[in-house]
Structure formats: structure tokens, C-alpha cells
Amino acid sequence: MAERERQGGCMCGAVRFVASDVPEVYGICHCEMCRRWTGSALLGVSVPAGNVIWHGREHIATLQSSEWAERAWCRKCGTGLYYRVTERNEWFGATEIPIGLFDDPDGFRLDNEIYIDMKPDSYAYVGEGHKCLTRAECIEKFGRIGEAGEARTKE
Ligand SMILES: [Zn+2]
Ligand SMILES: [Zn+2]
């Protein structure tokens, strides 16, 4: 078994994956696109480019949801599978997988929350010592990626 390998899949099992070099930390995104896509917030583990093997690819549908990234889901059950950077920047190919998709979703540590100022006031995630970035701070750090909140119409 490869180092830090984890497996998972969608709700119906048509799509399965094996990921290696899976970080032990995850981030939460409260941007408007992630909020609508997931129905709440994206709790995602960012797996480096090329480190995910997908099975049942014929069941994976993708949407270029902005100029720099795509989102994917299972055609059979609708499970949101990943967010992947498609723009050729330093994050190209990085794949954010929701932690809920892993067969064993335990053992991840919250590292950061981004777009924290866009989080609905009706809930909050508990964690100690993790970083929080506002929308403005995200724009400063990620450049165009920070414009996700306005990108809905660019599908
Ligand atoms: Zn499925
Ligand atoms: Zn987001």
C-alpha cells in the first residue's frame, strides 16, 4: 500500500477512488459556489496532482465551473466528487476531495477555513489554532481564484 493511501467513493458506489500522499489536514471553503454545490461548505482534502486513481470514470460528470477549476459528480447518484484546478498555475491538477467520501473519514485535522466572512451565521466549525482567511485575503493570496463568488454565471 502506498504511503498515506486512502480509498473512498460516491454514495451509490459506481465511482470509487484510491488516493496516495493524502494530506492529514483539510480545509473548509465557505465561498458561494462551494456553499451551493455542497449545500453547506466544502470540507476538502487537497490531493496533489496525479495522485488519485478513479474507477467508474464513465459515471463521472464534470462542469467547468469557473475559468480556473472544474467540479465533478456521479451521474448515477449525484454525489459531489471533487473540485480540480484546471488553470495552469501553481495549483494545476490539485484535487480537492470532500472528506465525507473517504471510507474512513477519521484522522483529518482542520487546517484552515477560507471565505470565512461568507460563512452563514447559522453554523460554525469547531477547531483550535486553524487559520481563517476572509474573502479579501483569499483574493490577495489566490488572485483570480478568489473571484469564485462572482463566477457563477461563467459556467
Ligand atoms: Zn454514485
Ligand atoms: Zn469554495
Residue 61 has pLDDT above 90, yes or no: yes
pLDDT of residue 142: 80
Q: Is residue 124 part of a domain?
A: yes
pLDDT above 50: residue 35: yes
70 alpha carbon – ligand 1 mean position (Å) = 18
Residues 10, 61 contacting (CB under 8 angstroms) = no
* Domains in the chain, number: 1
Cα(41)–Cα(29) distance, integer angstroms: 6
Beta bridge partners, 103, equal none
Q: What is the mean pLDDT of residues 14-37?
A: 96
Average per-residue pLDDT for the chain: 90
Looking at the DSSP assignment, which residues form a beta bridge with residue 49? Answer: none
> Residue 55: nearest ligand to its CA?
1
| pLDDT for residue 84 | 95
As a whole number, mean pLDDT of residues 66-78 equals: 95
pLDDT digits (tens, 9 = 90+) for 100-146: 999 999 999 999 999 999 999 999 998 778 999 999 998 888 876 54
Q: Output the CA 45–ligand 1 centroid distance in Å.
A: 19
Q: Does residue 79 lie within any of the structural domains?
A: yes
For residue 76, being part of any structural domain is answered with yes
Q: Which CATH number does the domain housing residue 132 bear?
A: 2.170.150.70
- Is the pLDDT score of 66 beyond 80? yes
**All residues at 6 or more sequence positions from 75 whose CB lies less than 8 Å from its CB, including other chains:** 14, 59, 60, 61
From the CA of 78, the nearest ligand is: 1
The residue type found at 76 is K
Is 96 part of a structural domain of the chain?
yes
pLDDT at position 1, please?
55
Distance from Cα 60 to the centre of ligand 1, integer Å: 9
Confidence of residue 152 (pLDDT cuts 50, 70, 90): very low
Instruction: Report yes or no on 103 lying in a domain.
Output: yes
Ligand found nearest the CA of 59: 1
139, containing H or E segment? helix 135-142
Q: Which DSSP category does 12 fall into?
A: S
How large is the average pLDDT for residues 78-86?
Answer: 96
In which residue are the cell numbers 461548505 written? 41
pLDDT at 151 over 60: no
Please tell me whether residue 24 adopts helix, strand or coil conformation.
Answer: coil
Mean pLDDT across the stretch 75-96? 94
Please state, in angstroms and rounded to a whole number, the distance separating the CA atoms of residues 95 and 69. Answer: 10
Residue 154: what pLDDT? Answer: 32
Q: How far is the CA of 89 from the centre of ligand 1 (A)?
A: 30
Q: What is the domain range of residue 149?
A: 6-154
Residue 21 belongs to some domain of the structure: yes
Residue 94 φ then ψ, to 5°: -60, 135
Q: Higher confidence at residue 54 or residue 4?
A: 54
Asked if residue 1 belongs to a domain, the reply is: no
